[in-house]
Structure 1
Amino acid sequence: MTENLTYRYVAQTHVGLKRRVNEDAILALPEHDIWLVSDGMGGHQAGDFASALIVDAVATLAQGLDPAAKMHGLRDRIQGAHRAIQAEAELRGGATIGATVVALILANGHFVGIWAGDSRLYRLRDGEIALLTQDHSAVAEYVKAGKMSWDEAEQHPQSNAITRAVGVGDGLDLDKVRGTIASGDRFLLCSDGLTKYASFAMLQDVLSTAPLETVGDRLLQIALNGGGADNISHIVVDVI
């Protein structure tokens, strides 16, 4: 019975080996069954401010909301963060400030993923991994056109050129994916500090074999062994 499903999770963020500031931010709201990863835009001013503002905004969700109200509340708070980041950018003289976001909601035997940018949501089911989101990036268009795989796109020189972010542009379009969940499903939310080093095969292997107690450390080690040039953030959620 889907109403009896419960969830366990592990969440980690790490500055990596080359950056001085961690511009990623993560949020776990188990009382809402909501998890979120945000990645401040590298190379711009105050990416850490932007990602923290998104997390802080979502953390104010009221208690006791039904699933529909939670989803709308999540979207509203991300949109509010978008406007607040823009206002801060104006105060700083028009600087470009922004962050990606990917969020997962679980309720009533279903999941909803909401995202903007290139932070990702994966699901492992029956030992097979699937990417549930599609990057908002320049190289994503090559993948959609069948010219390269997602693994190849991560190695492209323009892999960091995102086309959508919270705080950037007049309006913010948040994409959504939804589906059913089942006992044994494992979800992964992560920033590109992990995926630039972790292929689909590597992620599938770790997510398939590592218990929750060690899976976060194994994912982190992949990124650090690969060079750790970016901040690294991931949340793994198990459906029980």
Structure 2
Amino acid sequence: MTENMTYRFVAQTHVGLKRKVNEDAVLAMPEHDIWLVSDGMGGHQAGDYASALIVDTVATLPTGLDPAAKMHGLRDRIQNAHRAIQAEAEARGGGTIGATVVALILANGHFLGVWAGDSRIYRLRKGEIEMLTSDHSAVADYVLAGKMSWDEADQHPQSNAITRAVGVGEELELDKVRGGVEPGDRFLICSDGLTKYATFPMLQDVLSTAPLETAGDRLLQIALSGGGADNISHIIIDVI
């Protein structure tokens, strides 16, 4: 648990309206203070295998670890999944298999986010939303250069072209972000099946007005009403 804090959460995943297979996977481990979303790479073979393998590998973390050991254990297991997915791809004839990953750890009044790909972490604090991660995607450089917003990038024709994923490439580089946690913070972890439909103002409105019991359903409805062309996954964590 975070120091002198408790939390509540809701986790959801949905196949959407167009896909036959849900290639997303979500993992909630409140006993470890860890939450994770993985999005199998659409258009490639066995994206559902890759995301499920990441979740299953991280789920083997032992309980009782201190925050530093937990962080290293999480990263090690994601790297193990990276190598296992590569081996599976080779066994299947060398095709590309991969998945994004984004994970959040809460510990001692702080958070740590770890990710590869374009699944995201947001934080709502005092009614204002902030995106804590930065996509590993073909259009991210335009955003970082100030040429477009993340909402505009989500509508770009190359928005699905990610440049980093678990199982893809020889070495997997995981980015991380750290910060403090305050009572009242609300974190959102999600796949791009939500963010391609839910703009920053939409997310801020839902997360700042809806109780936890209905916030997840409202986000899901935004994605489905927008077209639901991809799998949709999100976890909302409230710090109390």
TM tier, smaller: over 0.9
Post-superposition shift, 1:30? 0.4
Q: What does residue 36 of structure 2 align with?
A: 36
Looking at structure 2, the residues matched to 3 and 136 of structure 1 have their Cα atoms a distance apart, in angstroms, of 32
Within 5 Å, which residues of 2 pair with 1:8-157? 8-157=8-157
Which amino acid in structure 1 is aligned with residue 214 of structure 2? Answer: T
Q: Which residue of 2 aligns with 1:190?
A: 190
Q: Give the match for residue 161 of structure 2.
A: 161
- Note the alpha carbon deviations across 1:172-191, whole angstroms, 9 max, x for none: 00000000000000000000
TM-score of the two chains, using structure 2 as the length reference: 0.99
Tell me the SS of whatever aligns to 2:20. coil
TM-score (norm 1): 0.99
Counterparts of 1:3 and 1:25 in 2: how far apart (Å)? 29
Report the count of equivalent residues: 239
Counterpart CA distance in 1 for 2:147 and 2:178 is 27
| Structure 2 CA distance for aligned equivalents of residues 13 and 80 of structure 1 | 24
Partner of 1:225 in structure 2? 225
Unpaired stretches in structure 2, ≥5 consecutive residues: none
Tell me which residue corresponds to 1:202. Answer: 202
String of CA shifts for 1:32-78, please: whole Å, max 9, x gaps: 01000000000000000000000000000001100000000000000
For residue 131 of structure 1, report the CA deviation from its aligned partner: 0.2
Deviations 1:147-190 (A, max 9, x none): 10000000000000000000000000000000000000000000
Aligned equivalents of 2:226 and 2:68: distance in 1? 40
Q: CA deviation at 1:4?
A: 1.0
Identity across aligned pairs (percent)?
Answer: 85
